[in-house]
Amino acid sequence: MNLITENLCFKPEHEYYLNDISLEFKAGNLYTLLGRTLSGKTSFLKTIAGLQPVDSGQITFAGKDFNSIPVWKRNVAMVYQQFINYPHLTVFDNIAFPLKQRKMKFSDIQNEVSSAIKKVGLQGFEKRKIQELSGGQQQRVALARSLAKKAKILLLDEPLVNLDYKLREDLRNEFKNIFSGDLSSQSILIYASTDPLEAMQLNGNIIVIDEGKILQHDSAKEVFENPSNVRVAEITNEPAMNIVNGSIESKKIILNKDVQIDLPDKLKTIKPGKYFFGLRASDIVLDDSGFQFVVDLAEISGSETILHLHQDNLKFVSLINEVKNFNNRDKVMLKIMSENLYVFNEKGNLIFSPFKNK
């Protein structure tokens, strides 16, 4: 029961929505489609659901040509970024809708619906109208509808993005519980997200997409440790990985005329020349023995502080593991953890990862 897409292309105007996408999804697996907004995530999900045409390419599911099957016969469930429900129906009828389309027996429908309602924790709300629910509850109804359907392919298009922080955490955990149940062994779950943290937490296969093109397709661990190129490194880190243009010359890494680091032993095999260096925000730490930088902006986020810094033409974002007050234009001393540097060649492809060569 594998879903295979081959060379999917869709270019409605000047830009590619989907650019030659070939992927294989195996039943029983969770796939996270990670990409920035407008990267083609929704287009891809809509194409699988049948809501959007393609210019060329093939979709096959369980050996059958999926392109020729109309939307309503595809047995796909989808949860959207906006809370999409049927405003004229009650919670019960909303969840029962796909089952009624299949002309199931009413007693079976009742069982399925009440078990789905239990899974998303909406007991007691069966008779409410959709407008009487909060945003989070509405999204749970949509989720319950997709669960009750027991579809072979479940598409989740940033389902948590419009919810408040606490609810997002709760529902994400619920996702894991729900999908570790009976559903997971037979279904393909594709979860689109812009949030690298979320993608890592879901811990499935990560597909990194950008400008309609697949950049990398690997396990969460692999994508985190070995991003295949500069763009992937940016997309899969929050804050985005610092990518700096520099060079290796006479056993030094030269980022600009002041910031020059001794070449760590691990990197000695790399030939002198021009490279892109990648450095996670958390690998730039406050240290009096380091280089002097100027603070452009300091943001406090939870228990961390995010610093936007510059020194001459060099710009960095640093993540400090404590809450500290900085003023703009403050001068701070920073140390660059050179042993955690990623090295990309001039085309932007990874040639050295601190994890691979450990």
Partner 1 sequence: MNFKHKFAFLFPGLFVLIGILIFPIGFMIRLSLSSWDTFYPGLDFIGIENYVRLFTDDSRFWESFFRLSFLSVTTVSLQYIIGFSLALMVWRDIIFKRFFRVLFLIPMMTTPVIMTVIWRTFFHESLGPVNDILSIFGIAPPWLTNEHLAKVTIIIVEVWQWTPFMFLLLLAGLLSLPKEPFLAASVDGAGPIRKFIYVTFPLMAPISIGAIIIRLIEASKIMDTVYVLTSGGPGTSTETSSYYIFVKGLREFQFGYSAALSFTYLIIMIISLTIISKLLVKLLIKK
Question: Is residue 274 involved in binding partner 1 (CB under 8 A)?
Answer: no
Using CB under 8 A, which of 41, 145, 217, 280 touches partner 1?
A: 145
What is the rounded distance in angstroms from the CA atom of residue 50 to the CA atom of residue 68?
9
Residue 51 interacting with partner 1 (CB under 8 A): yes
Q: Sign of the C-alpha dihedral, residues 46, 50, 55, 61?
A: positive
Residue 157 beta carbon to partner 1: minimum distance, rounded to whole angstroms: 11
Alpha carbon of residue 315 to chain centroid: 25
Distance CA 355, CA 287 (A): 24
Q: Is 97 in the site for partner 1 (CB under 8 A)?
A: yes
* Pairwise CA distance, residues 332 & 315, whole Å: 14
**Are the beta carbons of 99 and 90 closer than 8 angstroms?**
no
Q: Which of 88, 257, 310, 331 binds partner 1 (CB under 8 A)?
A: 88
Q: How many angstroms separate the CA atoms of 55 and 10, rounded?
A: 5
Edge-first strand order for the sheet with 64-65 is 18-25, 3-10, 56-61, 64-65
How far is the CA of 166 from the CAs of 131, 186, 302, in angstroms?
22, 30, 13
Q: Does 73 bind partner 1 (CB under 8 A)?
A: yes
Q: Which region, judged by CB under 8 A, interacts with partner 1, from 17-25, 29-37, 45-53, 218-226?
A: 45-53
C-alpha to C-alpha distance for 105 and 53, rounded to whole angstroms: 34
Using rule CB under 8 A, residue 105 touches partner 1? no
Select from 98, 136, 196, 246 the one that contacts partner 1 (CB under 8 A).
98
Which CB atom, from 89 or from 285, has the smaller least distance to partner 1? 89
> Quick check: 342 and 279 in contact, CB under 8 A?
yes
- Which member of 85, 138, 205, 226 binds partner 1 (CB under 8 A)? 85
Region of 25-33, 74-82, 175-183, 243-251 interacting with partner 1 (CB under 8 A): 74-82
Q: Which amino acid is at 209?
A: I
Site membership for partner 1, residue 124 (CB under 8 A): no
How far is Cα 90 from Cα 129, in angstroms, rounded to an integer? 4
In 3D space, the residue among 239, 235, 228 whose CA is nearest the CA of residue 298 turns out to be 239
- Interaction between residue 183 and partner 1 (CB under 8 A): no
Which range touches partner 1 (CB under 8 A), out of 33-41, 90-98, 321-329, 345-353?
90-98
For the chain, report the end-to-end CA distance as a whole number of angstroms: 38
Please identify which residue in 26, 28, 53, 72 interacts with partner 1, judged by CB under 8 A: 72
Place of tokens 């922080």: 165
Per this entry, what is the length of the chain?
A: 358
Q: Of these, 13, 37, 63, 70, which contacts partner 1 (CB under 8 A)?
A: 70
d(CA 308, CA 276): 19
Of these, 22, 62, 86, 169, which contacts partner 1 (CB under 8 A)? Answer: 86
Q: Minimal distance in Å, beta carbon 84 to partner 1?
A: 4
Applying CB under 8 A, the span of 16-24, 70-78, 172-180, 205-213 interacting with partner 1 comes to: 70-78
At 81 the three-state DSSP class reads coil
Q: Is there binding between residue 71 and partner 1 (CB under 8 A)? A: yes
| Closer Cβ to partner 1, 49 or 294, answer by number | 49
With CB under 8 A as the contact rule, the residue among 16, 17, 66, 80 that binds partner 1 is 80
CB of 138 to partner 1, least distance (A): 11
Binder of partner 1 out of 18, 77, 120, 235 (CB under 8 A): 77
Q: How far is the CB of 145 from partner 1 (least distance, A)?
A: 7
CA 227 distance to own-chain centroid: 14
Complex with partner 1: residue 49 or 254, whichever CB lies closer = 49
Q: How many CB atoms lie within 10 A of CB 195?
A: 16
Residues that bind partner 1 (CB under 8 A): 49-51, 70-78, 80, 82, 84-90, 97-98, 100-102, 142, 145, 149
